[in-house]
Amino acid sequence: MRIVSLLPSATEIICRLGLSESLVGRSNECTYPPEVQDLPIVTAARVDPRQLDSIEIDRQVREAIKDGRSLYAVDAVLIDRLAPDVIVTQDLCAVCAVSSGELASACPVGAPVISLDPSTLDEVAASIEMLAERLGVPERGRELAGEMRATIEDVRGSIEAAVRAGARRPRVFVAEWIDPPFVPGHWLPGMIEAAGGEALLAEPGRPSHPTTWDEVAAADPELLVIAACGFDAEEAARRATHLDLERIAPNARVVVVDGDAYYSRPGPRLADGVRQLGHLLHSEPVADPGLPLIELRPALAVAR
């Protein structure tokens, strides 16, 4: 089977299913795991985040969506030459990857298109099983989804025991973007809940949307996590240096995490993100998974 993946989470899942050698093409954002980086690139983002600050990226993305312009360029000639048996993409978010509708109009091909569109943690696990079924490895899909669910339930169980013993559920705001801040949507509120926190300004199962740092300050988080979509911890921390933490989160521990890998990408590593959040909120019952973390301000009132 010849697979073209236009979605970073799908590329990761396909490799975890043991099908990396079946991949023949990828989007420019499909960079993990490392072995896919030599594959031909069949789509490119029209907005280059490396050259713009966060507020300008947000402005350009909004204008493109308002005008009905695609955020991605599709190399139809290259896709045709690669002759895929299946193409994997999504319809969940116009910003994250080429949608199936855009693909059909920009690059009419005979290969079937699989769209992955989970909105919750449970749906992410189910999407792994569905993709594995469509790609002919259903047993491996059940194993991978089972591993993800087991990790999350292990964290949840440890924290529920701690809560029964008197531990609190601290107030948490996870910023999916920086300028403006975006509230946690889709699966992120479920991650916060499983990790033993109270998700502030959250939209469970719904798309993230912009708010203001004044609204965040009014919610008074005890833990502020900057998990900027598309950026690793170092890049997000660089972009957050201008934030007035004393004003927007006076009572909070403030940390920056690798949002791209462990929070905004609907794949098996979301379970690792849950474990990281669990450790940040309840360090005794949940071990530190050792994921990237940059501390902007140490703990003040976060539960231990």
Residue-wise pLDDT tens digits, 224-261 = 999 999 899 999 999 999 999 999 999 999 999 999 99
pLDDT at residue 106 is higher than 70: no
How confident is the model at residue 52, as a pLDDT?
63
Spatial contact of 237 and 258, defined as CB atoms under 8 Å apart:
no
CA distance 61 to 69: 9
At 44, the pLDDT band (50, 70, 90 cuts) reads confident
Rounded to whole angstroms, the Cα distance separating 29 from 8 reads 6
The pLDDT assigned to 110 comes to 73
Is the pLDDT at 189 greater than 90? The verdict is yes
Q: How confident is the model at residue 304 (pLDDT cuts 50, 70, 90)?
A: very low
Domain ranges of the chain: 3-117, 168-297
Residue 73 is predicted with a pLDDT of 77
Contact 183, 227 (CB under 8 A): no
Burial of 248 per CB tally in 10 Å (0-12, 13-18, 19+): buried
Determine the pLDDT at residue 95: 47
Poorest-pLDDT segment among 88-92, 142-146, 180-184, 275-279: 88-92
H or E element: which one contains 82? helix 76-82
187 token code pair = 């699966």
pLDDT one-digit tens code per residue, 158-178: 999 999 999 999 999 999 999
Give the range among 30-39, 72-81, 205-214 with minimum mean pLDDT: 72-81
Residue 43, pLDDT score? 85
Mean pLDDT score across all residues of the chain: 89
For the domain bounded by 168-297, which CATH number is listed?
3.40.50.1980
Q: What percent of the chain has pLDDT over 70?
A: 84
What tens digit of pLDDT does each residue of 139-158 get? 999 999 999 999 999 999 99
Consecutive H or E run containing 61: helix 54-67
Instruction: Tell me whether the CATH fold assigned to 3-117 matches the one assigned to 168-297.
Output: yes
Contacts of 123 (CB under 8 A, 6+ apart): 187
Give the span between the Cα atoms of 146 and 148, in whole angstroms: 5
- If pLDDT is split at 50, 70 and 90, which confidence band does 75 have? confident
Instruction: Please give the average per-residue pLDDT across 280-286, as a whole number.
Output: 96
- Beta-carbon contacts of residue 153 (< 8 Å; ≥ 6 apart): none
Eight-class DSSP state of 244 = -
Residue 172 pairs with which residues in a beta bridge?
199, 223
CATH class of 3-117: alpha beta
